[in-house]
A and B are shown apart, each in its own frame.
Chain A
Amino acid sequence: TTIMAVEFDGGVVVGADSRTTSGPYIVNRVTDKLTHIHDRIYCCRSGSAADTQAIADIVHYYLQMYSAQNGEVPSVQTAAALFQEICYQNKSNLTAGIIVAGWDKYEGGSVINIPLGGSTHRQPFAIGGSGSSYIYGYCDSTYRKNMTKDEAIKFVRDAVALAMSRDGSSGGCIRQAIITKEGVERLFYPGNDLPVFWEG
């Protein structure tokens, strides 16, 4: 799995590959790893598919209750705190690496990385999953502050494509979601439509 989220002025771009594996066998090659948690908050799931699906369903429920009971849209930080509570308190039984990203009226776009232990890290951009190991250098050297929406989209697409090329557990196609005040726009790049880099 390769997952990524990048903040830009006005929102966030989240992206992921689409491969789910059981050992070496590819169980699903068109998976959607970008999960709706609330209207303007998505999470990127990596690790055990069962664990992350269960956690995302619970947080989705809590945020529904939050917005119904409090009459206001939850912040990304609130969503991240809920993920953190579950991931930290059950750390011995879970394998879940989650990136929470979205838009709220207090911070604009936010990206919050929650790795295996259950810590939270607000970052301008975050990468996760087994494929992320191969793109730390690429991301660190390519990232610029104050990117535009289109620059952020290209950054995510190129980085995820590079990781898919090297990581056996990542592949298929690239799914993206762009979250802004206006709404969520979903993008899809089929496997034959990906940027191509050096292939030997």
Chain B
Amino acid sequence: MSALEYNGGAIVAMAGKNCVAIAADKRLGVQLMTVSMDFQKIFQATDKSFIGLPGLATDVQTLSELFRFKTNMYKLREEREIEPRTLAHMVSSTLYERRFSYYFAEPVIAGLDKNNQPFICSMDLIGCINFAKDFVVSGTSSRSLYGMCESLWEPDLEPEDLFETISQSLLNAVDRDCLAGWGAVVHVITPERVITRHLKTRMD
């Protein structure tokens, strides 16, 4: 089994009308055995941006700590928070630094920029950025997620509708994947606030 499938996990992010949403499952497994149903894969980078990290769990944790360090240093030097687009390039450079002994994670970034415009992107494990206007997916359920998102997403969804759409995309995709599921968390980011909801899912 490849390193990207060893622990399992799935992440999706979507853009709506003046809002973005990012969602992930909560499973941590060792191949086919489930070890935790409470494993965090989405990390808050700034007030209005989040990084989702699916893949090998040790790299998920190492990278989340590395990005916390880098965004803190950015804030100290620049005396302002990092913009989502800049954060994406920083993550990309960090991954490409390890071009030949790569981190086993394929990040997803979602946030609102300083003008509250939605920003989402995903990356492969060596840092190639995919800038998308609609949705991005990553993890062991990515193929099923592409199918769900392609059929359910429409432009200019309001925050409540975006929440429903992203939740159904994630839930139905991970229900066809043995390595993802066992609980889910969804963050909806609007200019005023971030709403975090934990979903009750199939636990099999």
Also in contact, A167 and B32, with CB within 8 A (given A21-B178, A24-B5, A191-B204): yes
B204 touches A24 (CB 8 A): no
Residues of B within 8 A of A164 (CB): 204
Flag whether B76 is at the interface (Cβ < 8 A): no
B204 touches A172 (CB 8 A): yes
How far is it, in angstroms, between the C-alpha of A104 and the C-alpha of B31 when the chains are bound? 41
Q: Give the segment of B34-42, B92-100, B118-126, B186-194 that binds chain A.
A: B34-42
B204 touches A170 (CB 8 A): yes
Residues of B within 8 A of A192 (CB): 202
Nearest-neighbour CB distance to chain A for B138, whole angstroms, equals: 15
Nearest-neighbour CB distance to chain B for A19, whole angstroms, equals: 8
Which of A167, A168, A196 has its CB near the most chain B CB atoms (within 10 A)? A168
Contact with A along B105-139 (1 / 0, CB 8 A): 00000000000000000000000000000000000
Q: How many residues of B contact A (CB 8 A)?
A: 20
B33 touches A168 (CB 8 A): yes
How far is it, in angstroms, between the C-alpha of A39 and the C-alpha of B202 when the chains are bound? 35
Contact with A along B159-190 (1 / 0, CB 8 A): 00000000000000001111100010000000
| Nearest-neighbor residue (CB-CB) of A21 within chain B | B178
B33, B36, B38, B179: the one within 8 Å of A134 (CB): B33
Chain B contact residues, CB within 8 Å of chain A: 5, 8, 29, 31-34, 36-38, 140, 175-179, 183, 202-204
User: Can you offer 13 A-B residue contacts whose CB atoms are under 8 A?
Assistant: A24-B5, A24-B178, A25-B176, A26-B178, A165-B204, A168-B32, A168-B33, A168-B34, A168-B178, A172-B204, A196-B203, A199-B203, A200-B37
Chain A contact residues, CB within 8 Å of chain B: 17, 19, 21, 24-26, 29, 130, 134, 164-172, 191-192, 196, 199-200
